[in-house]
A = this chain, B = another copy of it.
Amino acid sequence: MPDKPSLDFYYEFASTYSYLTAMRIDGLAGQAGVAVAWRPFLLGPIFAAQGWTTSPFNLYPAKGRYMVRDIERIAKARGRTFVMPAVFPANGLAAARIALSGEAAGWTNDFSRRVYEAQFEHAADISNVDVLASLLKGMNLDPVTVLAQANAPETKDRLRAQSARAAELGVFGAPSFITPDGELFWGDDRLEHALAWTLGHKPD
């Protein structure tokens, strides 16, 4: 049997729309017969290159107010309750390094969902290492071991490389999806399009 086609899912931990996707992508892709490669990356350097010093939702308040309402509506329709954390955007660097270091053991997706749930449903501060350690304990992982690996130079380099790769692929926001043939889709509302494209359903 041939391998399932695989969709790259680029996500940033501070991103509210990435949260929406993280909570549903494995289920939806599984039904579609598509594998998902979870690719945590940092949007900060990409925003900085565009001259932004913070989230566009902070730079443009009308857009920020709308985003909160939009996410609330969509989360509710999916049976979830969204709350904004006190600090937005959160610094997701530590979470991204941990998520990446879980790739070999296969818990990147599980950990990432827990980070999003803590941040956007319980308003936890995910820049706080104690918060992240507690999530790891909930997964029966040893925080000391995991954090040591997350902070190893090799993990730091891989996260930098993955973020640079995202920019090379044309990523300018999150979530973003890259299909096996290199097609870019941006936004939680394009997840279905990206899955269909991955399966070869392209408009013509």
| A contacts, CB < 8 Å to B | 50, 60, 62-63, 65-66, 69-70, 73-74, 76-77, 170-173, 184-187, 189-190, 193, 202-204
CB–CB B203/A70 < 8 A: no
Q: Which of A62, A63, A73, A185 has the most CB of B within 10 A?
A: A62
Name the B residues within 8 Å of A74 (CB-CB).
203
A71 to chain B, nearest CB (A): 12
Residue from the list B186, B187, B204 in contact with A76, Cβ < 8 A: B204
CB–CB A193/B73 < 8 A: yes
Residue from the list B63, B73, B172, B189 in contact with A66, Cβ < 8 A: B172
| Residue of B with least CB distance to A167 | B62
Complex alpha-carbon distance, A164 and B139, angstroms: 52
CB–CB A70/B186 < 8 A: yes
